[in-house]
Structure 1
Amino acid sequence: MGSRMSEGAATVMFVKRTYRYVDGARVEGTWQHIFIRNGDTYFLTDMAIYADGTVDCWGLTDLDGLRRHLETGWVATEIPQGARASASDLVDWNFDEPEFFVSAQGLLGETADKIDELNGRPDSSVRCLMAVDTFLDDPTESNRTAAREAYLAIPEHLRMFALGDMDSKDWPLATLVTAVGQRRAGYDDRVVTAEMHAHTEKYFRDRERLRASLPVAPPDGPVTAASPTVQLPMAHFHEDRLADPGRHILQIDYPAPIEYDGRTYPTVEHAYWAMSTSDPEARERIRTATRTHDARTLAADAPRRDGWPVARLAVMADLNRAKYTQHPDLAETLLGTGDARIMLAGTFSGYWYGHGSNWVGRLLEVVRSELVVARWRDD
């Protein structure tokens, strides 16, 4: 049996997140530090890497463009001693015996890995572990060669992290994928012996036993959603419900009257804006406005309640609870999203929608969870 190292293997979780918008759609990204040579100065800056394969290193390009930038030295992975460097508006300095740990090829490979990670695809390390699994299940020399090629395809500075074992680093991989009598692949050029193979095979057997003894997922469920993200653009509703609005009922301006605070409001958005003002007369005008646009415009001219920026989150949560508890058919649509992340577009500020903090979507996920618990209580 193979070690099943790649089962459930997650790509490296980057904590450096960014994004950009393309035609109104959010494109996820990450970033890393690089040096850009402009004239005689090397500038320390951030290179953004996006899920669509775009790379921003003082200008948008792609992997081929990054390769050309590395070849010309615009993106620098080697800097001569004494060269001038700058972290713009922060500090300038001159290099004294600079030592780089990432080669041009390594930076290019790591960037490709990050694009794979952003798209939920196996990166070079995971692909290597998959090839090793295949070899351990069927230890032929052709499978060993394939595993060796996959190992060498990992950017050199990242190979030590592939196994997630910083005591052993990557020596077990380098040894396993090298045939007896050959020099160890990409590691220390030591000739591999049968004894080294036996030691390595024991390492992977022990590793498999350890992995088998660990839980495959957190006790309370998976870390990431199983259902695909629900991402809805803005929809324009008439006074009456649409014949087949689908998941657009999740929008807060969808016409679903709710009882709240002793009054009936045409939509969640009407109620939200009415609750935002301290003027009772303005509140009533907002409540009876024909369109949500009119309600929003009326609210803009009305005085805000004291503490509204703090209270608004709880108000929006209450209003969405009212909507889905008072309309069981709409609750079924919300429950039908499973455990998906909900991202909506709308005319509020970025505080509420998917191009910002996405609080509307996050509150809908909370209400969805509460609906599930309510069903438990009814059983």
Structure 2
Amino acid sequence: MIGNRVTHRTVDGIRIPGTWRPAFIRNGHHHLIDLFIYADGLIDCWGLCTVEEFEEKLRIGWVATTVPEGAAAAAPGMGEWLSVADPEVSEAVTVTETYREARKLALMAPRRKGWEQARAAFMTSLLRAKYDQHPELADILLATDDATLVYDDFDSAFWGHNAGQGRNWTGRLLKLVRSELHMRRSGIPCP
């Protein structure tokens, strides 16, 4: 494993160890992700794939360790700095190398007054902007039709589903944004 970058996934009750590293997925723009590599040979880069499938993703440039000069890139989760009350810690969060580092630093710091009450509205605004700016991602979200959306964020019982132990607020907000996209694309006027 790579240092303390230890993770796992559970399949049929069996814990499969793994590690992770930052990487970029090129889906329209480049998106910073945590790429998970498991001991059973599967790799999670926006979905599990075999080593052979991963090699193809590398070959075609869908997965990369760097962003080409001049290319657009997004770093989901880096908004953690907004929740931090201390401006110095907030600045330190913005210059971390990985989302995990940013999250850890932000979670150790005192939160802004009112953050707990405002965080869902903040996330809703971010999700609306994301899907408005990236129609190809909106198409993917719309293709889920009216399915229940489960978001696994094992670091957060608020945002993630976490095998039924979390509140799944990201999943809930994605359903809201999906409904708004359906409404707009169907021409249904908003009161």
Tell me the TM-score range normalised by the shorter chain.
0.5 to 0.7
- Scaled by the length of structure 1, the TM-score of the pair is 0.31
- Structure 1 position 343, deviation (Å): 0.8
- Structure 1 position 296, deviation (Å): 0.5
Unaligned runs of 5+ in 2: 1-9, 13-18, 28-44, 49-71
- Structure 1 position 377, deviation (Å): 4.4
Distance 2:178 2:21 in 1: 23
Match for residue 322 of structure 1 among 129, 135, 159: 129
Q: CA RMSD in A?
A: 3.3
Question: Which residue type is aligned with residue 270 of structure 1?
Answer: M
1:307 aligns with 2:117: no
1:238 aligns with 2:25: no
Distance 1:265 1:283 in 2: 21
Distance 2:123 2:155 in 1: 12
Query: Identity of aligned pairs, percent?
Result: 38
Match for residue 82 of structure 2 among 275, 278, 286: 275
Structure with the bigger percentage of strand: 2
- Structure 1 position 237, deviation (Å): 6.8
- Scaled by the length of structure 2, the TM-score of the pair is 0.58
Question: Is residue 268–residue 323 contact of structure 1 (8 Å, CA) maintained in 2?
Answer: no
Unaligned runs of 5+ in 1: 1-22, 26-234, 248-263
Question: Which residue type is aligned with residue 306 of structure 1?
Answer: K
**1:298 partner SS:** helix
Distance 2:143 2:118 in 1: 29
Distance 2:26 2:167 in 1: 28
Question: Is residue 342–residue 364 contact of structure 1 (8 Å, CA) maintained in 2?
Answer: yes
Counterpart for residue 103 of structure 2: 296
Distance 1:329 1:236 in 2: 27
Matches of residues 357-376 of structure 1 in structure 2 within 5 Å?
Answer: 357-376=167-186
Question: Which residue type is aligned with residue 318 of structure 1?
Answer: S
Question: Is residue 276–residue 299 contact of structure 1 (8 Å, CA) maintained in 2?
Answer: yes
Q: Deviations over 1:95-140 (max 9, x none)?
A: xxxxxxxxxxxxxxxxxxxxxxxxxxxxxxxxxxxxxxxxxxxxxx
Q: State the number of aligned residues.
A: 132
Question: Is residue 268–residue 320 contact of structure 1 (8 Å, CA) maintained in 2?
Answer: no
- Structure 1 position 24, deviation (Å): 7.2
